[in-house]
Protein backbone atom coordinates (compact mmCIF):
# COMPACT_ATOMS: atom_id res chain seq x y z
CA UNK A 1 0.00 0.00 0.00
CA UNK A 2 1.48 3.34 -0.99
CA UNK A 3 1.11 6.57 0.93
CA UNK A 4 -1.19 9.16 -0.60
CA UNK A 5 0.47 12.42 0.40
CA UNK A 6 -2.45 14.51 -0.82
CA UNK A 7 -4.78 12.74 1.64
CA UNK A 8 -2.31 13.23 4.47
CA UNK A 9 -1.79 16.92 3.73
CA UNK A 10 -5.52 17.55 3.30
CA UNK A 11 -6.14 16.56 6.92
CA UNK A 12 -7.46 19.52 8.94
CA UNK A 13 -4.68 20.93 11.11
CA UNK A 14 -6.89 20.90 14.21
CA UNK A 15 -7.07 17.08 13.91
CA UNK A 16 -3.28 16.59 13.96
CA UNK A 17 -1.98 15.35 17.31
CA UNK A 18 1.42 14.28 18.54
CA UNK A 19 1.50 10.48 19.04
CA UNK A 20 1.69 9.36 22.65
CA UNK A 21 4.59 7.06 23.55
CA UNK A 22 3.88 3.49 24.59
CA UNK A 23 3.78 3.15 28.39
CA UNK A 24 7.01 2.17 30.11
CA UNK A 25 7.32 -1.54 30.86
CA UNK A 26 7.85 -4.88 29.15
CA UNK A 27 6.57 -6.05 25.77
CA UNK A 28 6.99 -9.12 23.61
CA UNK A 29 8.43 -8.10 20.23
CA UNK A 30 9.43 -9.69 16.93
CA UNK A 31 12.08 -8.64 14.40
CA UNK A 32 10.29 -7.45 11.28
CA UNK A 33 12.23 -7.95 8.05
CA UNK A 34 15.92 -7.45 7.48
CA UNK A 35 17.67 -4.66 9.38
CA UNK A 36 18.83 -1.40 7.83
CA UNK A 37 22.54 -0.65 7.56
CA UNK A 38 23.58 3.00 7.44
CA UNK A 39 25.90 5.64 8.94
CA UNK A 40 25.13 8.22 11.60
CA UNK A 41 24.74 11.76 10.31
CA UNK A 42 27.10 13.47 12.74
CA UNK A 43 30.11 11.16 13.02
CA UNK A 44 29.42 8.82 10.07
CA UNK A 45 29.59 5.82 12.41
CA UNK A 46 28.20 2.69 10.75
CA UNK A 47 25.18 1.10 12.41
CA UNK A 48 22.59 -1.62 12.00
CA UNK A 49 18.96 -0.82 12.88
CA UNK A 50 16.35 -3.49 13.61
CA UNK A 51 12.61 -2.88 13.43
CA UNK A 52 10.78 -4.62 16.25
CA UNK A 53 7.05 -5.16 15.96
CA UNK A 54 5.16 -5.15 19.25
CA UNK A 55 3.23 -8.40 19.77
CA UNK A 56 1.95 -8.12 23.34
CA UNK A 57 2.13 -5.95 26.44
CA UNK A 58 3.50 -7.42 29.66
CA UNK A 59 1.58 -7.69 32.91
CA UNK A 60 3.38 -4.59 34.21
CA UNK A 61 1.63 -2.37 31.63
CA UNK A 62 -1.45 -0.51 32.85
CA UNK A 63 -4.26 -1.42 30.38
CA UNK A 64 -5.87 2.03 30.59
CA UNK A 65 -2.56 3.79 29.96
CA UNK A 66 -1.88 1.48 27.02
CA UNK A 67 -5.33 2.11 25.54
CA UNK A 68 -4.82 5.87 25.84
CA UNK A 69 -1.40 5.76 24.17
CA UNK A 70 -2.66 3.59 21.29
CA UNK A 71 -5.71 5.67 20.42
CA UNK A 72 -7.08 4.19 17.18
CA UNK A 73 -3.89 2.20 16.49
CA UNK A 74 -3.69 -1.54 17.20
CA UNK A 75 -0.82 -2.69 19.42
CA UNK A 76 0.33 -4.99 16.60
CA UNK A 77 0.84 -1.96 14.35
CA UNK A 78 3.36 -0.39 16.73
CA UNK A 79 7.07 -0.74 16.04
CA UNK A 80 10.26 0.29 17.81
CA UNK A 81 13.73 0.73 16.34
CA UNK A 82 16.77 -0.86 17.99
CA UNK A 83 20.08 0.53 16.72
CA UNK A 84 23.56 -0.84 17.25
CA UNK A 85 26.72 1.04 16.30
CA UNK A 86 29.29 -1.10 14.51
CA UNK A 87 32.49 -0.27 16.36
CA UNK A 88 34.97 -2.56 18.10
CA UNK A 89 33.97 -1.21 21.52
CA UNK A 90 30.22 -1.62 21.02
CA UNK A 91 29.86 -4.91 19.13
CA UNK A 92 29.17 -6.69 22.42
CA UNK A 93 25.75 -4.93 22.55
CA UNK A 94 24.83 -6.39 19.15
CA UNK A 95 26.03 -9.83 20.27
CA UNK A 96 23.87 -9.59 23.42
CA UNK A 97 20.86 -8.63 21.29
CA UNK A 98 21.41 -11.56 18.92
CA UNK A 99 21.66 -13.90 21.91
CA UNK A 100 18.41 -12.48 23.37
CA UNK A 101 16.78 -13.34 20.04
CA UNK A 102 17.69 -16.97 20.66
CA UNK A 103 20.57 -17.15 18.19
CA UNK A 104 23.65 -19.20 19.06
CA UNK A 105 26.41 -16.63 19.45
CA UNK A 106 28.93 -19.22 20.68
CA UNK A 107 29.59 -20.61 17.19
CA UNK A 108 31.93 -19.69 14.38
CA UNK A 109 29.09 -17.89 12.59
CA UNK A 110 29.89 -14.26 11.82
CA UNK A 111 27.74 -11.44 13.13
CA UNK A 112 26.64 -10.80 9.53
CA UNK A 113 25.45 -14.42 9.22
CA UNK A 114 23.57 -14.21 12.52
CA UNK A 115 21.94 -10.90 11.51
CA UNK A 116 20.51 -12.62 8.42
CA UNK A 117 18.72 -15.07 10.74
CA UNK A 118 16.97 -12.39 12.83
CA UNK A 119 13.68 -11.83 10.93
CA UNK A 120 10.87 -13.48 12.87
CA UNK A 121 12.91 -13.91 16.05
CA UNK A 122 11.17 -12.85 19.25
CA UNK A 123 12.41 -11.17 22.40
CA UNK A 124 11.18 -9.25 25.43
CA UNK A 125 11.91 -5.54 25.42
CA UNK A 126 11.73 -3.07 28.26
CA UNK A 127 10.56 0.35 27.18
CA UNK A 128 11.42 3.48 29.11
CA UNK A 129 10.86 7.17 28.47
CA UNK A 130 13.30 9.98 27.80
CA UNK A 131 12.77 13.67 27.31
CA UNK A 132 13.60 15.33 24.00
CA UNK A 133 16.65 17.58 23.90
CA UNK A 134 14.45 20.65 24.23
CA UNK A 135 12.49 19.04 27.09
CA UNK A 136 9.13 19.56 25.39
CA UNK A 137 8.36 15.95 24.44
CA UNK A 138 8.66 12.46 25.85
CA UNK A 139 9.78 9.54 23.71
CA UNK A 140 9.62 5.79 24.24
CA UNK A 141 12.93 3.98 23.81
CA UNK A 142 14.18 0.45 24.30
CA UNK A 143 16.10 0.25 27.57
CA UNK A 144 16.71 -3.51 27.70
CA UNK A 145 16.28 -6.65 25.58
CA UNK A 146 16.05 -10.17 26.95
CA UNK A 147 15.00 -13.61 25.80
CA UNK A 148 11.27 -14.06 25.14
Which own/partner contact pairs does 33-37 have at CB distance under 8 Å and 24+ positions apart? 33/119, 34/116, 34/118, 34/119, 35/115, 35/118
Contact between residue 15 and residue 2 where contact means Cβ atoms under 8 Å apart: no
Residue 144's region, left for phi above 0, alpha for psi from -120 to 50, else beta, is beta
Question: What is the mean predicted confidence (pLDDT) over 69-81?
Answer: 94
Q: 15-51: per-residue pLDDT in tens?
A: 888 888 999 999 999 999 999 999 999 999 999 999 9
CATH for 21-147?
A: 2.40.50
Domain boundaries, the chain: 21-147
Q: How many CB atoms lie within 10 A of CB 87?
A: 11
The pLDDT score that the predictor gives to residue 90 is 95
Q: 84-96: per-residue pLDDT in tens?
A: 999 999 999 999 9
The pLDDT score that the predictor gives to residue 2 is 57
Question: What is the mean predicted confidence (pLDDT) over 65-83?
Answer: 94
pTM of the model: 0.87
127 pLDDT more than 60? yes
The residue with greater pLDDT, 11 or 77, is 77
Amino acid sequence: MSTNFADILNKPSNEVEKPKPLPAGTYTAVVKGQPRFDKSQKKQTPFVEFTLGILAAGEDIDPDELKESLGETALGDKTMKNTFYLTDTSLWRLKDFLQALGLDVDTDASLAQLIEETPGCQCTITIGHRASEDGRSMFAEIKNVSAA
